[in-house]
Amino acid sequence: MLCEWIDHQLFAVKDGAVLFGVDQGSLFFIDELTRDALSRWNIRPTLELDDVPMADREILEGLRDARFLAPSGARHRLETPEFDIAAIPLSTMVLEVAQDCNLACSYCYAQGGSYGRAVRLLEPETARQAVRKLVDDSGDKETVTLVIFGGEPLLNMAAVTAAVEEAHNLSREKGKRVFVSLTTNGTLLNPDIIEFLHQKRIAVAVSLDGPADLHDANRPDLNGYGSYTTITGNLTGLLQGATAAVAARVTLTPEQWPRIEEVFFHLLELGFHEVGIAPVSPVRRELLPNAEQEEALLQGFSALSRIFLKAAQANRLLPFTNLIDLLARLHLGQTKSVSCGAGYGYLAVDTEGGFYVCHRLVGDESFRVGTLDEGADPAEIRRALDSLTCGKQEMCSSCWARTLCSGGCHYENHLRENQLGLAPGGSCDFIRRWFQLGIEVYAELRRSGADEFLQRLGKRVKC
């Protein structure tokens, strides 16, 4: 049988290699003999299996069974499906309750919370209307997610309570679960608000960047004073008696990347249930990293991943959200044909009741895709998404990580390419190395028998 190779990527690990089936999302461990046979034979585009000497043929048959070799001419690569946006139910809404903020963070992508528009708060009635829209347009989804966002959402508790109340009423009425989360800078938390968050089981993400010196450099208030002490003073009450996860949402600038490990453990000690670390978006050219800084970021993630691995082997989950999410997807072998849910069931609503494809793109007219009154227009969503992904397919088609990444964050690409005028693909190398790190950690976990642990992780992303 004339066979040809199916797209794959090899990663060297102890005693052999991990073979990643790019289109399938499969991960196999292969021993050294198989790895050697693979490198002998995969330089040929096609091969006749019957002509291969017996010793190698058996190995190649194993690779054929694992779908790395297939009959020549069969169509192996899946075409990217064209989704019918109108048929996709709404599942997540990010609600901008306040386009205003009491902090002046150095790296803010929302121009001080206003998203480049007039400072404005969401009317409580509009908040209710938005939540109704989320539930009404959610089709057969049993669970929908409402993300209360800003600016600083706690500046507008009237809209927050209206949205949460509406969500609870509707979930009772319609038999759906409305999962509510809220992202805050933590400065305005008080006992009443904390009691409300606990009582309503709202998952809270607090933006806290690490130890005081580091956090205060990033997140001063409007008078230039640091916000660390205020926030940590409010944290005790929030964490005590929490009824849903309280996560730290960390943003670090390139010069802070060598301190990742220190930041992570500092936040764990403060009592956060999860810590997710985001490298800052280059909202200004000065925030673009150089090669050395990017290396430091990877080293930091790599060091944390090693610690995660050790803990996992003892069946303990180190709450490093970035890695947990990646491992969960790798465990299931999930592949993506679009980079994220923006426009595909995920929409943001601004304080004027306008729909945007993503919360990060709020305020930019070219990504406004409708209003609460008229609904989101599928044709407008398609137009906005096409403008963000235009020309990417060809570049991505030769990349082994395409089914894991599928083009990357729309907003990051928009910033780099359209606002800073950089060539596309500037962060691809970093993204690929991060996925490789995840694959290596996954393989080591799998091979050390952490099956139960991985199953638990898999449940996080199963839908």
Partner 1 sequence: MDKKKRIEALNEKAHAIEALAGGEMKSVEALEEGGMLKMPVGCTSIYDTGWETNPRATNPVGNCQPSSHDYLGCAGDCWWPAQNPDGMTNYLDLELTCSSIIRDWRDIK
Q: How far is 357 from 381, CA to CA, in rounded Å?
A: 7
By CB under 8 A, name the one of 52, 59, 69, 358 that touches partner 1: 59
The answer to the question of residue 446 lying near partner 1 (CB under 8 A) is yes
Rounded to 10 deg, the angle between the 191-199 and 157-174 helix axes is 10
Please, which residue, 29 or 265, has the CB nearer to partner 1?
Answer: 29
By CB under 8 A, name the one of 128, 331, 359, 416 that touches partner 1: 331
Please identify, among the stretches 20-28, 39-47, 233-241, 409-417, the one whose residues bind partner 1 according to the rule CB under 8 A.
Answer: 20-28
The answer to the question of residue 58 lying near partner 1 (CB under 8 A) is yes
Please, which residue, 28 or 41, has the CB nearer to partner 1?
Answer: 28
Least distance to partner 1 from the beta carbon of 141, Å?
Answer: 24
The answer to the question of residue 18 lying near partner 1 (CB under 8 A) is yes
Residue with tokens 């289109």: 23
- Looking only at residues 125 through 144 of this chain, which bind partner 1 when binding is defined by CB under 8 A? none
The answer to the question of residue 292 lying near partner 1 (CB under 8 A) is no
By CB under 8 A, name the one of 1, 2, 12, 31 that touches partner 1: 31
The answer to the question of residue 353 lying near partner 1 (CB under 8 A) is no
- DSSP secondary structure of 401-462: THHHHTT--HHHHIIIIIIS-PPTTTTHHHHHHHHHHHHHHHHHHHHTT-HHHHHHHHHHH-
The answer to the question of residue 27 lying near partner 1 (CB under 8 A) is yes
Residue 70: helix, strand or coil by DSSP?
Answer: strand
CA 298 to chain centre: 17
Please, which residue, 66 or 340, has the CB nearer to partner 1?
Answer: 66
By CB under 8 A, name the one of 271, 333, 341, 424 that touches partner 1: 333
8 A C-beta contact, residue 353 and residue 99: no
Least distance to partner 1 from the beta carbon of 364, Å?
Answer: 37
The answer to the question of residue 50 lying near partner 1 (CB under 8 A) is no
The C-alpha torsion from 191 through 196 and 197 to 198, rounded to 10°, is 90
8 A C-beta contact, residue 94 and residue 359: yes
The answer to the question of residue 303 lying near partner 1 (CB under 8 A) is no
- DSSP secondary structure of 180-194: EEEEE-STT--HHHH
The answer to the question of residue 452 lying near partner 1 (CB under 8 A) is no
Q: How far is 125 from 228, CA to CA, in rounded Å?
A: 34
CA distances from 300 to 259, 264, 296, 303, 437 (A): 7, 10, 6, 5, 12
Please, which residue, 27 or 428, has the CB nearer to partner 1?
Answer: 27
Please, which residue, 16 or 407, has the CB nearer to partner 1?
Answer: 16
Least distance to partner 1 from the beta carbon of 66, Å?
Answer: 6
The answer to the question of residue 5 lying near partner 1 (CB under 8 A) is no
Least distance to partner 1 from the beta carbon of 48, Å?
Answer: 19
The answer to the question of residue 62 lying near partner 1 (CB under 8 A) is yes
By CB under 8 A, name the one of 3, 47, 52, 63 that touches partner 1: 63
Least distance to partner 1 from the beta carbon of 77, Å?
Answer: 16
- Looking only at residues 405 through 444 of this chain, which bind partner 1 when binding is defined by CB under 8 A? 442-443
Structure token pair of residue 73 = 């001419």
The answer to the question of residue 61 lying near partner 1 (CB under 8 A) is yes
Least distance to partner 1 from the beta carbon of 241, Å?
Answer: 37
By CB under 8 A, name the one of 5, 22, 28, 415 that touches partner 1: 28
Please identify, among the stretches 53-61, 158-166, 175-183, 210-218, the one whose residues bind partner 1 according to the rule CB under 8 A.
Answer: 53-61
Which residue type sits at 169? Answer: N
Q: How far is 168 from 200, CA to CA, in rounded Å?
A: 9
Please, which residue, 200 or 447, has the CB nearer to partner 1?
Answer: 447
> Which residue, among 135, 221, 152, has the nearest Cα to 193 in the 3D structure?
152
Say whether the peptide bond before residue 151 is cis (omega within 30 degrees of 0): yes
> Which residue, among 322, 320, 317, 309, has the nearest Cα to 278 in the 3D structure?
322
CA distances from 29 to 315, 375, 399 (A): 22, 48, 21
Interface size with partner 1, residues (CB under 8 A): 30
By CB under 8 A, name the one of 34, 91, 185, 251 that touches partner 1: 34
The answer to the question of residue 15 lying near partner 1 (CB under 8 A) is no
CA distances from 154 to 183, 202, 358, 456 (A): 9, 13, 21, 34
The answer to the question of residue 220 lying near partner 1 (CB under 8 A) is no
Structure token pair of residue 132 = 């109704």
Structure token pair of residue 419 = 């606002």
Binding site for partner 1 (CB under 8 A): 18-19, 21, 24-31, 33-34, 58-59, 61-63, 65-67, 330-333, 442-443, 446-447, 458
